[in-house]
Structure 1
Amino acid sequence: MSRLDPLPVSTSAPKERVAYLDNARYWVMLLVVIGHSLTELVVMDSARGVYTWIYLFHMPFFVLISGYTARHYVGDFRQIRRIVSTLIVPYLIVETGLQLITRHYDGEPEHFMILSPQWLGWFLAALFIWRLTTPIWRALKYPITTAVLISLLAGLIEIPNVLALPKVLGLLPFYVIGLHFDREVFLWLGHARNRIVAAVLLGGSFVVCLAFAQSWADRWPLTTWLLWKARYDELGAGPLEGIAIRALLLVIAFVLTLAALSLVPRGRSWTTTMGGRTFYCYLLHGFVILWLDRHFDLWQRIEPYGATAVLGCIATATIVANLLMTKPVATVFRPVFEPRLTWMFRDPSEDTQHLPGDHPDVWDRGVERTLPRRAHRPPSHHHLR
């Protein structure tokens, strides 16, 4: 038996999935796929307006939810094993696969840059870093303030793209806010009055993005700012101006995230089941988009159709996203993206007689879900798998 200090082993029963969180994942995953499908069409005002609106809040939304569901991470045996099998392994598969495709069609990258994610892999790398640093953010006296300062200052210096570090730091405040979110906030957001305000905010922001799409494109690269990774000077802003703009975008993203959270349905529906499989949709949709783009030049072919092409792209992306969240897809790709890897880890019984009862989640692997329900609502009995 190894003399290494044993990892703590969770002995708690697996938690039930929460319909609200899975509903939230479903709707934001639609925005992710739609946003990625519009990337090649942002030369058009209509596509740029929709793209800008989506990117104002969809990843901050996802990051905040990820932080909330990771708030009990302590680095026990089960959680460490889940990080390896459902973050590290999928990252290596997806990043290698995507770089092989772009290298085949474009000749780039000339050398594999596995630790420098070029596209989808950044979020898996970010979750890995955020998850490992969770105990730090739980221990600090002013964690949110610290995270905001890090985000604002990160744009001042050159940060290598190792494990997508610029985006990791730029979006860090939303993860830390999620870690410290209180259940009462979710309940408060669900009040009818707040939901009306949320609908107005989201609808109004959508109209503004469409109305000013051309104006913003002429004056400053807003879509690039919303990627949360470029230095301020690369975006044509000085240090103080850059900090001010990022601070404003942080506020806007947080407000719109709260609005989106307010409108997410609380009850169980078909979106709950689909939302439990967003993991596979996220990992696979990039391959679909790259194949359609590189093999068929799809976006170049449809660009002349203007707004019709944009609407068609949104509709097609919605269909593709739903197909990738179906049970057959999950059944086929679960062994690939969620390998058990029992051969890699020590048997936890060497350290304790209790084995972890694990029921992994889509985005917060190995983290128990504890979002309470109202007392008068019956508990859900749905499990992802």
Structure 2
Amino acid sequence: MSAPEPLPVTPPPPKERVAYLDNARYWVMLLVVIGHSLTSFTDMDSARGVYVWIYSFHMPFFILISGYTARHYMGEPRQVRRIVSTLVVPYLIIETSMQLISRHYTDKPDPLMILSPQWLAWFMAALFVWRLTTPIWRALKYPIATSIVISLLVGLIEVPNVLALPKILGFLPFYVVGLHMSRERFERLASPRIRAASVGLLGSALLICYVYSKNWETDWLLWKQRYDEEPLGATAIEGMTQRAELLAVGFILTFAALSLVPRQRSWTTALGGRTFYCYLLHGYIIVLLQLEFEVFTRIDRFGVGAVIGSSLVAVCVANLLMTKPVAMLFRPVFEPRLTWLFKVPSPPTPAPEQPAERRSGAT
């Protein structure tokens, strides 16, 4: 009996992007850019309320989605190459350039502290650390409870800002919960009752922030200081209670926002697939507008008009930075192939050929 011809080896089909996730990325990226554009106006009640509302859930939202998309990370060579090219390289570019820009405008010869991210690059560092520890969170018996305990306790001790560790550990529960989400859980959020409740929750939260945020210390929303450190100045119990409240609010508003994200493909889907470039580039625009032209300082006197105008411009800039030409222009910079750095993957070893009679099932 002649041996059967081996089946042709075909590469796996490319992964199809999920419209729901890209839509979610689009809307949360708008919140990120708007929030950063309002940072200079937090002394105004009108801006402070919106700022606090955005910061209470926009990063938890982003982090939970990031955890969900990283749930299959196992440390394979292909995955390692990916995180080096899309996380390590952008981190080094953003952090180095931002510190050099700051040095230029402040005329302070501060040494470059590349491992101590000051602004945008912290999220790249966080994704890198969280991704590497993903197998641990998948192996633990009580991963979510463990991550919450870590988040509550980290504010009690001095943790150096190496790779933004205080923020990494503080936001950790959102990433771990994202790892344990499933498509079915996301689908349950789309029920009409949950959506109706979500509109009420998000609207009520915005109203509460608008009315009461003038008495709140916004540094709690940065998740990086010790509880007893100024300007927080809290006892251990007060600090852990406040952190627990922030975790609860972050989860509630995140799931409320996720329930309202459209499931079907639309114009936001394509833009949402390119939020990576918007996140990395919008910081340069904000920094240069303030340091070079002092735009935010100049328009501060217009009050609510400045807040509305900055928000509208932020939306326009965010949409522009999520367009295809921007992605094509900056992909070689922020997502280099790095073929010179990594080994060429070895082809799979073929299985040893078996005798014809064994293949045919003869004994």
Q: Tell whether the structures are fold-level matches, with TM greater than 0.5.
A: yes
Find out whether 1:270 has 2:288 as its counterpart.
no
Which one-letter code corresponds to 2:264 in the other structure?
G
State the TM-score, normalized to the length of structure 1: 0.86
Equivalent residue number for residue 308 of structure 1 = 305
Give the % identical residues. 67
Deviations 1:9-66 (A, max 9, x none): xx74321000000000000000000001111111111111100000000000000000
Contact 1:154 1:169 in 2 (8 A): yes
Find out whether 1:333 has 2:303 as its counterpart.
no
Find out whether 1:196 has 2:167 as its counterpart.
no
Equivalent residue number for residue 315 of structure 2 = 318
2 CA distance for matches of 1:173 and 1:194?
23
1 CA distance for matches of 2:48 and 2:252?
21
Equivalent residue number for residue 115 of structure 2 = 115
Which one-letter code corresponds to 2:222 in the other structure?
L
- Once the two structures are TM-superposed, the CA of residue 165 in structure 1 deviates from its matched residue by 0.4
Contact 1:156 1:232 in 2 (8 A): yes
Contact 1:195 1:263 in 2 (8 A): yes
Find out whether 1:240 has 2:240 as its counterpart.
no
Find out whether 1:92 has 2:89 as its counterpart.
no
1 CA distance for matches of 2:168 and 2:58?
15
Equivalent residue number for residue 26 of structure 1 = 26
Find out whether 1:226 has 2:221 as its counterpart.
yes
- Identify if the C-alpha distance between structure 1 residues 108 and 122 changes in structure 2 by more than 3 Å, giving closer, same or farther: farther
Equivalent residue number for residue 102 of structure 2 = 102
* 1:289-300 equivalent positions in 2, closer than 5 A: 289-300=286-297
- Once the two structures are TM-superposed, the CA of residue 108 in structure 1 deviates from its matched residue by 4.6
- Once the two structures are TM-superposed, the CA of residue 303 in structure 1 deviates from its matched residue by 0.5
Which one-letter code corresponds to 1:251 in the other structure?
A
Secondary structure of the residue that 1:296 maps to in structure 2? coil
- Identify if the C-alpha distance between structure 1 residues 109 and 79 changes in structure 2 by more than 3 Å, giving closer, same or farther: farther
Find out whether 1:174 has 2:167 as its counterpart.
no
* 1:139-178 equivalent positions in 2, closer than 5 A: 139-178=139-178
- Once the two structures are TM-superposed, the CA of residue 106 in structure 1 deviates from its matched residue by 1.3
- Once the two structures are TM-superposed, the CA of residue 215 in structure 1 deviates from its matched residue by 2.9
Contact 1:120 1:283 in 2 (8 A): yes
- Once the two structures are TM-superposed, the CA of residue 351 in structure 1 deviates from its matched residue by 6.4
Secondary structure of the residue that 1:159 maps to in structure 2? coil
Residue ranges of structure 2 left out of the alignment (5+ in a row): 1-10, 351-363
Contact 1:102 1:109 in 2 (8 A): no
Which one-letter code corresponds to 2:320 in the other structure?
L
Q: Which has the higher contact order (CA 8 A, sep 6+)?
A: 1
Equivalent residue number for residue 375 of structure 1 = none
